[in-house]
């Protein structure tokens, strides 16, 4: 009988201790997440780091952490449960001694460009017997920027794969008629007026003049994400991805050539604080900013494209060539482009519609994007 009473007292003491540690479990207990890098390329591995600090003498017998992640975010070799179409949930359990710190590294990948937010953590604290638990919701905000893939300009193809991206840009950019750097063999897409006929006859092959770039030349890519009238009625996500691929590849090439390059768009820019601008001014050291621009571009337009051109056109420069990438044009957009052309601005159009069916505009060259090659 005495042994039985001692046994009951021991169980009671354990229960009281477990209940006390459970109730005090969240006190002086901190859970924090961090990233070893928050700017990555698609498929690049990075780590989500979970750090738990128990800053009291009593242990935490059972702590379950359920983390909410956006769809497209993947932890490597980690079991996940999908609770809805937009979120994945990962659970992990811990036992933590008094005054102990636990740090876990979770290798992860994201395969698509964009901005991803980590927000909510659900905590569940139990006793050593598993009879009861306390729950707590934490918001632990982190932002991950996934840049677009950077393709070589020569892997961007136009019009039945006959013209490569670098050739198109060379053809469109202003050339200095005074300073000829040299001659090279003709390639498809070169202008007939650049052929050096005397040298071609002498060498028995077509040679074209290669011009030196001037320091005043600028290129500005203008991305339209409007796909219908009204502008909010329909969005073409695939067309926007095509635009991002093209601008990333061609701007990388122009900047490497020392040509100041900028980009602007009528798209909404994804930003938690709303501070990211939809315009990057021309420069030769801004490719990283253009990468982030491509990551933050949403498929949803912020304003009608003709209104956007009307406003931004006030600040266009005569020494810039404006390359418009668009899947859609209506009469209002066409009229604004014609006005800008009449004002003396150099305008070019890349048709990113699936069928290449955008209308022609007098004195504004248009070329259809056909696809990209393998890296």
Report the CATH number that the domain containing residue 346 is assigned in CATH.
3.40.50
With a cut of 50, say whether residue 281 has pLDDT above it.
Answer: yes
Residues 343 and 240 in one domain: yes
pLDDT digits (tens, 9 = 90+) for 207-244: 888 766 555 689 999 999 999 999 888 999 999 999 99
* Residues in the chain, total: 375
Residues 29 and 102 in one domain: yes
Q: Report how far residue 229's alpha carbon sits from residue 170's, in angstroms, rounded to the nearest whole number.
A: 34
Residues 141 and 163 in one domain: no
Report the CATH number that the domain containing residue 77 is assigned in CATH.
2.60.40.1510
Q: pLDDT-derived band of residue 313, with 50, 70 and 90 as boundaries?
A: very high
Angle value at C-alpha 145, between 219 and 103, nearest 5 degrees: 155
Contact 221, 349 (CB under 8 A): no
How many domains are contained in the chain?
Answer: 3
pLDDT digits (tens, 9 = 90+) for 44-96: 999 999 999 998 887 887 888 888 888 888 888 766 555 566 778 888 888 88
Residues 204 and 231 in one domain: no
Domain range spanning residue 335? Answer: 153-174+214-372
- Token pair, residue 245, equals 């691929």
With a cut of 50, say whether residue 17 has pLDDT above it.
Answer: yes
Q: What is the mean pLDDT of residues 126-145?
A: 73
Do the domain assignments include residue 82? Answer: yes
Angle value at C-alpha 244, between 351 and 374, nearest 5 degrees: 90
pLDDT digits (tens, 9 = 90+) for 109-133: 999 999 999 988 888 876 555 555 6
The pLDDT value recorded for residue 57 is 84
Residues 141 and 167 in one domain: no
The pLDDT value recorded for residue 181 is 67
- Which of 205 and 124 is assigned the larger pLDDT? 205
Residues 243 and 307 in one domain: yes
Residues 53 and 95 in one domain: yes
Q: What is the mean pLDDT of residues 15-41?
A: 75
pLDDT digits (tens, 9 = 90+) for 316-372: 998 899 999 999 999 999 999 999 999 989 999 999 998 888 999 998 999 999 887
Residues 81 and 52 in one domain: yes
The pLDDT value recorded for residue 151 is 93
Low-confidence winner among 115-124, 204-213, 268-277, 296-305 (lowest mean pLDDT): 204-213
With a cut of 80, say whether residue 179 has pLDDT above it.
Answer: no
Residues 242 and 356 in one domain: yes
Dihedral sign, Cα of residue 296, residue 299, residue 304, residue 309: positive
Q: Which residue has the tokens 């982190």?
A: 142
Do the domain assignments include residue 76? Answer: yes
Residues 218 and 131 in one domain: no
Residue 276, exposed/middle/buried by CB under 10 A (0-12, 13-18, 19+)? middle
Contact 269, 277 (CB under 8 A): yes
Contact 68, 89 (CB under 8 A): yes
Q: pLDDT-derived band of residue 165, with 50, 70 and 90 as boundaries?
A: confident
Residues 237 and 98 in one domain: no
Q: pLDDT-derived band of residue 178, with 50, 70 and 90 as boundaries?
A: very low
Do the domain assignments include residue 3? Answer: no
Question: Residue 142, Cα to own-chain centre: how many angstroms?
Answer: 16
**Following DSSP, what letter does each residue of 167-182 receive, concatenated?**
HHHHHHS---SS-EEE
Does the global pTM surpass 0.75?
Answer: yes
Q: Which long-range contacts (CB under 8 A, 24 or more apart) does 200-209 make?
A: 207/183, 208/183, 208/184, 209/180, 209/183
Q: What is the mean pLDDT of residues 159-175?
A: 70
The pLDDT value recorded for residue 8 is 62
The pLDDT value recorded for residue 298 is 96
The pLDDT value recorded for residue 85 is 61
The pLDDT value recorded for residue 201 is 85
Residues 270 and 318 in one domain: yes
Contact 225, 267 (CB under 8 A): yes
């Amino acid at each position: 009988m005495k042994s039985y009473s001692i046994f009951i007292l021991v169980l009671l003491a354990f229960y009281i201790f477990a209940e006390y540690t459970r109730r005090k479990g969240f006190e002086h207990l901190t859970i924090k997440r961090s990233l070893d890098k928050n700017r990555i390329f698609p498929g690049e591995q990075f780590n989500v780091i979970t750090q738990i600090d128990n800053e009291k003498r009593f242990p935490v017998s059972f702590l379950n952490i359920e983390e909410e992640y956006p769809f497209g975010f993947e932890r490597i070799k980690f079991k996940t449960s999908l609770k809805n179409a937009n979120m994945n949930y990962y659970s992990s359990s811990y036992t933590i001694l008094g005054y102990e710190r636990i740090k876990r590294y979770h290798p992860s990948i994201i395969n698509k460009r964009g901005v991803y937010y980590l927000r909510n953590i659900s905590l569940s604290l139990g006793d050593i017997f598993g009879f009861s638990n306390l729950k707590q919701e934490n918001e632990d905000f982190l932002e991950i920027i996934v840049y677009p893939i950077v393709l070589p300009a020569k892997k961007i193809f136009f019009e039945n794969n006959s013209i490569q991206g670098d050739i198109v840009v060379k053809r469109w950019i202003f050339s200095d008629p005074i300073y000829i750097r040299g001659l090279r063999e003709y390639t498809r897409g070169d202008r007939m007026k650049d052929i050096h006929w005397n040298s071609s006859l002498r060498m028995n092959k077509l040679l074209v003049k290669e011009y030196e770039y001037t320091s005043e030349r600028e290129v500005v890519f203008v991305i339209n994400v409007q796909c219908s009238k009204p502008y909010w009625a329909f969005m073409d996500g695939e067309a926007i991805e095509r635009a991002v691929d093209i601008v990333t590849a061609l701007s990388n090439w122009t900047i490497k050539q020392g040509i100041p390059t900028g980009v602007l768009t009528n798209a909404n820019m994804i930003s938690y604080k709303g501070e990211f601008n939809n315009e990057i001014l021309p420069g030769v050291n801004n490719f990283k900013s253009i990468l982030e621009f491509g990551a933050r571009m949403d498929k949803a337009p912020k304003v009608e494209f003709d209104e956007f051109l009307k406003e931004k056109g006030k600040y266009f420069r005569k020494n810039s060539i404006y390359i418009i990438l668009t899947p859609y044009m209506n009469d209002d957009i066409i009229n604004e482009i014609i006005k800008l052309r009449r004002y003396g601005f150099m305008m070019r159009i890349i048709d990113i519609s699936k069928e290449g069916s955008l209308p022609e505009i007098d004195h504004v060259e248009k070329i259809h994007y056909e696809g990209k090659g393998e890296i």
